[in-house]
Amino acid sequence: MIKYFFPLIGIWFIFSCSEGNPIEPPIDPSEPGNPISAITTPKFVFGFQGESRYSYCPSVLQQEDGSIHMFFCGNPNNLIMVDNIYHIKINPDGTKTSAKSVLQPGVSGSWDDHHTCDPSVIAGDFTWNGVTYKYAMFFLSNMYGVYYNEIGVAFSNKLDTDSWVKYPEQIVKKTWSTPGDQSVGGSGKAWGVGQPSGVSLDGKGKILLTYTVGDIGGTRIVWSEADFSNMDNYTITPPQTIVQSGLKAIDNQSADYTCNADFAINKEADKIIMIRPVQPHPTDYPSYLNTSLEINYMNLSDFMNQTGGWKPIYRITPEDTGYPRNHNAALLRDNLGYLQDWEKPTFYFTVSKAAPDVQPSGNNHAEWTYHIWKSQIVKE
């Protein structure tokens, strides 16, 4: 989801957001007095197995008939790291449709001509150029020649369509006004904005839009209220950094920061739920991916009022999944981004191998081991 360019070998490495050295003790973040949380045995969902291709960063929608639509990032060609957004449908009996690329980079010279990834799909009513669409897909993209990312949106009237209609411009641009990249010290460059997660606020065009910001001010998740009912005159409120109180780092003591998270809400319970990477990163390859994820919740009203704090539901570790890297996760939501059983969510996540099983070269890259798995929170 974040790309780091190594000009000597001319490829992009795709990773999460963090810095520092980890200490990984046994952790049970369940609240005292509550039933202890656990997870079901993780199950494989999808991967381009046997190929030098990756699949990661899902957006997953549960349908009333029990079927699931999953959108995710993948590369069309072996050994070439260029992101497209793919779709599969998972039927109630577990059978799947073939993966197909449904959103690709734009034409050369456009703002989105390099990578197109990090989908977040929700339902509503979105009108553009006289056509009303049922679904919006928020995504990250960037262009050749710069490091920073920005956020776009595309529309469709079917979840299983072969292609989505892109709005031609960014809906969220980089945070600095000067042209080109922003220096963040030394040879570093600012990451920009991306990793969007959208939740419907009214079942129509009003959206709670969260996304990651990486600039000279640091790394953080911000949120805005947006109205995409009329794309000829859409509105987005100024972004606010989300509440970070209550989040713990990998040592379960230090305060953590947030990035690269997916969100869902339960209006009746006044809850917002987040699945996020736990910082910091490890030091061995791939050092750009997190080892652990955590599901947290807080009151939705507190979130919107910038008060209160997050509480943990469960921390997902390598001991749970059998993989040394667990990253780029999503909550299984309905078409509006809601969760009914918010205390026991189903979640989808990306796994990866680590050194010495993978190395940053040729067909041994960690990226080729990015596959999507799923599990669910249970109460013991």
Give the 3-state secondary structure of residue 8. coil
pLDDT in tens, 24-77: 333 444 444 456 789 999 999 999 999 999 999 999 999 999 999 999 999 999
**What is the pLDDT, as a whole number, of residue 362?**
85
Beta strand pairing call for 325-333 and 55-62: parallel
C-beta atoms surrounding 23 within 10 Å: 11
17 confidence band (pLDDT: 50, 70, 90): low
Q: Calculate mean pLDDT across residues 293-302.
A: 98
C-beta atoms surrounding 36 within 10 Å: 11
Residue 150 CA: distances (Å) to CA of 51, 80, 262, 337: 29, 22, 17, 22
Q: Per the structure block, which two tokens stand in for 277?
A: 């990477």
Burial of 230 (C-beta count, 10 Å sphere; 0-12/13-18/19+) = middle
pLDDT in tens, 186-195: 889 999 999 9
Peptide linkage before 92 cis (omega within 30 of 0): no
Average of per-residue pLDDT values in the chain: 91
pLDDT in tens, 263-283: 999 999 999 999 999 999 999
105 confidence band (pLDDT: 50, 70, 90): very high
CATH level 2 (architecture), domain 2-379: 5 Propeller (2.115)
First to last CA, the chain: 34
Q: Per the structure block, which two tokens stand in for 149?
A: 């990312």
pLDDT reading at 376 higher than 60: yes
DSSP 7: T
pLDDT reading at 234 higher than 50: yes
C-beta atoms surrounding 301 within 10 Å: 12
For the chain, the domains span 2-379
Q: Per the structure block, which two tokens stand in for 378?
A: 């249970």
